[in-house]
């Protein structure tokens, strides 16, 4: 098939479905097919009307797409939703979740009873039929959430499938060979993250990825012509995709079935099936924005049902023929899994070592013995070095021998220290740059897509792939929406975030992340770790590797920091701990200094300057981990009811009032200047900090500030 072609399919009668080469199960009659589609349209209308909310339009317009996919093409077993040999489906247009819920019900997923589907938009806690599909429930592979990310998630799933297949499949034994089906709409194709991911998929030639474009030309605001006149098919072809056009996807089921079959069989490129549909078909407002995201209303539903031959007075009506039509889905799924299980057993016998490693990864386990490869503190470099370089020690120690790791960067491979000797890049095999066994990924300047793709890799079979993704900390602002979804889904990744403060120097305020930590520290279920030296950097890695249910981001320095005598990798896991007590035998210190990252070494120097006092220096690499510790531990480390506490960090002070009475922090943007000059300009010179802290403590007159009396000791420091 020529690479540059666009195939257009239309006009096949529904009763010709049996003759299609890619149809795996006997089709129903034309009348049965139409009854199924009409039933789904009426159900979509009823389910949204029930609680006066939801998105009926796509359910109605794309019903035939759902039939073609779940009834004819997708490889899955509804009686075992987590079967490792299944295809994966991603609903990037997550607001259309009711479409997915209905097909999960009809195809036989046991958890998806009609009562479960009827909870859609119900005012109850723990609703299985959430307003967007969530990863925790059967049949949902990823929580796509905001538009566009699902496309990137699907690309990540496709990368995972290609990578696992390249490492473990043998001639005659394709044990990992899924097709990734992604349903998208106009909105996902407008979002930047969707376009970033599409570009990468085309570059990599991910021919196991099928993008199903429900092209209804309507958004919430109305006709898409108001804001979007791109030729999507031409644009995708230009980025390395094959495109198949279907002109009447709401009515011509045979053409949709044929197009999806051709897409699955196509080799060499990812495929987009551009299917024109009519949103809300049958409604008096079909084709308009009104049917996108609001219930149709009783009168409109009555006319819809009447026109389709249904009784307007009966809600949620499902003729028995509809269930009969979908009944083959369960038996077909069982047979597919049975065949795969037999193949896998033969594979295990023929390739026992490969199978053992694959099975280990499918269980979500790292390679046995990995902890023994972690260097002890005594083996770490004693000379001062950036924590970004210290992080590279763990990459070199663990990544080369464990295929679980997929490592990459957003155009900063050397700067973030995520490379290793003799690595192979993940690239299309015919491009001359690498192949699908490669585990070093060049994402280009696409931070948002990088992390959203990483979510897809992490979700493929939880734990089978551990994505490591890197860029400057400032650019994790671009990736934040995807990192938020990682935390929401409880997917583990390791984020390398270098150049983490004003210490970046001459790149200036545009690249100095003085406030970004406030978002990541407040994000539930994510570990933001800012280690102060090589030992704490090892501790950050250990924390992340042992925490299988949460993503972790390491904020790492560009500037060198010394290896401090009192640092502890075990202390990192507790979030905060004592690094230094200048008078360890005293009942309580006279002063507590809390710090993070590169500023901890400065806090130690300040403590040494205040030689008349008993000063405790606390390193707090991870606030979230410290907050999770028992009260007794937290109070023993930071006795804020017994001694004045000062926080030192060259970031925003937001959040520090929970731990300290006063702080030295950034209150402006930074500027372009050498590293040391910047710390002096903004008040973080050791002598200046010691002077300000001593004067503040003396001004207390022996009292401790009350709740809400956090004092900014550097407030008013001028920027440029």
* Of the candidates 680, 678, 662, the residue with the CA atom closest to the CA atom of residue 670: 678
10 is in an annotated binding site: no
Q: Count other Cβ atoms within 10 Å, centred on residue 29.
A: 13
621 is in an annotated binding site: no
Burial of 546 (0-12, 13-18, 19+ CB in 10 A): exposed
511 is in an annotated binding site: yes
685 is in an annotated binding site: no
216 is in an annotated binding site: yes
**Residue 218 near residue 249 (C-beta atoms within 8 A):** no
- CA-to-CA distance for 613 and 619, rounded, in angstroms? 19
| Beta-ladder partners of 180 | 88, 209
66 is in an annotated binding site: no
- CA-to-CA distance for 1 and 200, rounded, in angstroms? 22
272: which residues sit within 8 A by CB, 6+ positions away? 210, 211, 213, 232, 233, 236, 241, 242, 243, 244
Pair type for strands 242-246 and 180-184:
unpaired
22 is in an annotated binding site: no
Question: Tokens in use for 325?
Answer: 């039509």
- CA-to-CA distance for 236 and 258, rounded, in angstroms? 20
Indicate if 447 belongs to the active site. yes
Catalytic residue chosen out of the listed positions 337, 355, 447, 649: 447
- CA-to-CA distance for 58 and 281, rounded, in angstroms? 9
How many residues appear in the chain?
720
187 is in an annotated binding site: yes
551 is in an annotated binding site: no
446 is in an annotated binding site: no
Distances (CA, A) of 274 to 127, 263, 271, 704: 33, 11, 9, 67
Chain position carrying tokens 């602002």: 477
Distances (CA, A) of 329 to 257, 342, 570: 15, 20, 51
**Residue 117 near residue 129 (C-beta atoms within 8 A):** yes
- CA-to-CA distance for 260 and 431, rounded, in angstroms? 27
507 is in an annotated binding site: yes
218 is in an annotated binding site: yes
615 is in an annotated binding site: no
Burial of 123 (0-12, 13-18, 19+ CB in 10 A): exposed
Q: Which residues line the annotated binding site for substrate?
A: 55, 292, 388, 415, 499, 507, 511, 558
Q: Which residues line the annotated binding site for Mg(2+)?
A: 186, 216, 218
Q: Which residues line the annotated binding site?
A: 55, 95, 145-147, 186-187, 216, 218, 292, 388, 415, 475, 499, 507, 511, 558
Catalytic residues: 447
């Amino acid at each position: 098939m020529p690479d540059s072609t666009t195939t257009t399919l239309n006009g096949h009668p529904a009763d010709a479905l049996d003759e299609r080469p890619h149809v795996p199960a006997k089709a129903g009659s034309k009348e049965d097919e139409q009854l199924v589609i009409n039933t789904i349209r009426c159900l979509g209308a009823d389910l949204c009307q029930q609680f006066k909310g939801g998105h009926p339009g796509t359910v109605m317009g794309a019903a035939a797409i759902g039939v073609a996919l779940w009834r004819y093409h997708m490889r899955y077993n509804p009686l075992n939703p987590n079967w490792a040999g299944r295809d994966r489906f991603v609903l990037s247009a997550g607001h259309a979740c009711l479409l997915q819920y209905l097909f999960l019900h009809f195809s036989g997923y046991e958890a998806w009873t009609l009562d479960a589907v009827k909870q859609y938009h119900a005012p109850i806690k723990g609703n299985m039929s959430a307003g967007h599909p969530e990863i925790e429930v059967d049949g949902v592979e990823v929580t796509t959430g905001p538009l566009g990310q699902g496309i990137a998630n699907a690309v990540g799933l496709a990368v995972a499938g290609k990578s696992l297949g390249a490492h473990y499949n043998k001639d005659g034994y394709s044990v990992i060979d899924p097709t990734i089906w992604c349903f998208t709409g106009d909105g996902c194709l407008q979002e930047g993250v969707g376009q970033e991911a599409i570009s990468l998929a085309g570059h990599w030639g991910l021919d196991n990825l099928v993008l199903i474009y429900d092209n209804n030309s309507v958004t919430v605001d109305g006709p898409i012509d108001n804001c979007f006149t791109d030729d999507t098919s031409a644009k995708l072809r230009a980025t390395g995709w094959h495109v198949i056009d279907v002109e009447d996807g709401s009515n011509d089921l045979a053409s949709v079935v044929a197009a999806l079959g051709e897409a699955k069989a196509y080799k060499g490129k990812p495929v987009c099936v551009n299917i024109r549909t009519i949103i809300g078909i049958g409604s008096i407002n079909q084709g308009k924005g009104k049917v996108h995201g609001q219930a149709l209303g009783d009168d409109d539903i009555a006319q819809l049902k009447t026109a389709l031959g249904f009784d307007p007075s009966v809600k949620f009506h499902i003729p028995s023929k509809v269930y009969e039509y979908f009944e083959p889905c369960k038996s077909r799924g069982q047979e597919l899994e049975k065949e795969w299980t037999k193949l896998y057993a033969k594979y295990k016998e023929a390739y026992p070592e490969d199978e053992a490693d694959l099975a280990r990864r499918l269980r979500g386990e790292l390679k046995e013995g990995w902890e023994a490869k972690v260097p002890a503190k005594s083996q770490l470099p004693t000379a001062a070095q950036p924590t970004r370089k210290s992080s590279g020690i763990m990459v070199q120690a663990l990544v080369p021998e464990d295929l679980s790791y997929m490592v990459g960067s957003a155009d900063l491979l050397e700067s973030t220290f995520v490379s290793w000797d003799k690595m192979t890049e993940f690239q299309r095999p015919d491009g001359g740059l690498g192949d699908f066994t490669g585990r070093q990924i060049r994402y280009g300047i696409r931070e948002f897509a990088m992390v959203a793709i990483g979510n897809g890799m992490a979700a493929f079979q939880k734990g089978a792939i551990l994505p490591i993704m890197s860029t400057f900390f400032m650019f994790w602002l671009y990736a934040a929406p995807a990192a938020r979804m990682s935390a929401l889904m409880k997917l583990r990744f390791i984020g390398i975030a270098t150049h983490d403060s004003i210490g970046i120097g001459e790149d200036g305020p545009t690249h100095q992340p003085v406030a970004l930590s406030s978002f990541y520290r407040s994000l539930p279920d994510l570990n933001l770790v800012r280690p102060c030296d090589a030992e704490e950097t090892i501790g950050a890695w250990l924390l992340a590797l042992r925490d299988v249910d949460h993503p972790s981001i390491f904020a790492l320095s560009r500037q060198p920091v010394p290896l401090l005598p009192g640092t502890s990798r075990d202390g990192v896991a507790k979030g905060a701990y004592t690094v230094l007590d200048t008078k360890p035998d005293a009942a309580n210190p006279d002063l507590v200094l809390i710090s993070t990252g590169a500023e901890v070494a400065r806090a130690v120097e300040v403590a040494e300057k205040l030689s008349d006092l008993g000063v405790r220096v606390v390193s707090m690499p991870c606030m979230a981990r410290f907050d999770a510790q028992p009260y007794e531990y937290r109070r023993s480390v930071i006795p804020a009811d017994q001694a004045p506490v000062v926080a030192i960090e060259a970031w925003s002070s937001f959040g520090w009032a929970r731990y300290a009475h006063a702080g030295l922090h950034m209150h402006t943007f930074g500027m372009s200047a050498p590293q040391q000059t910047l710390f002096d300009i903004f008040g973080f010179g050791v002598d200046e900090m010691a002077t300000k802290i001593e004067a503040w403590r003396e001004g207390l007159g022996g009292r401790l500030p009350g709740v809400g009396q956090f004092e900014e000791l550097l407030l008013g420091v001028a920027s440029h």
